[in-house]
Structure 1
Amino acid sequence: MEEPNSSHLGIKIISFLLPIVGAILYFVYKTSSPAKSKAACNFALWGVGVGILLSIISTVMNG
């Protein structure tokens, strides 16, 4: 059993920078480690959102 306050910094960073990896990690850890699974999913979604936002900003600045 995991500690409730344990930090999954590596998973969070990888999931944010490479959201597809975060999605894969979500399914890998879904049953065995729900905290890691949730962290991977949340940071993958944040990564997608930031990527879209940066794309919109880039398009507006170049257009």
Structure 2
Amino acid sequence: MTRKYIDCREYKSDTNCSVAIAADNDDELLAAAVQHAVSVHGHTDTPELHTQLKQLFKEGTPPLKI
């Protein structure tokens, strides 16, 4: 299984968020990404948010610098 990640540094935000999250499976990554999106960025936990976040997953680990 390939490790996957999502990296807030790749997307503009009001907070200039520098969080990157990685996991060994999609379910763990999605759970952490949703929690982060809701608690830090003020998104609402909806099926649409889950779909959007899954589309942003990348294989591997986040780079040290963007």
> TM-score scaled to structure 1, two decimals?
0.28
Richer in strand (by share)? 2
Q: Would you tell me which structure has more helix in proportion to its own residues?
A: 1
State TM-score, norm by structure 2. 0.28
Higher relative contact order (CA 8 A, sep 6+): 2
Indicate the structure (1 or 2) with the bigger Cα radius of gyration.
1
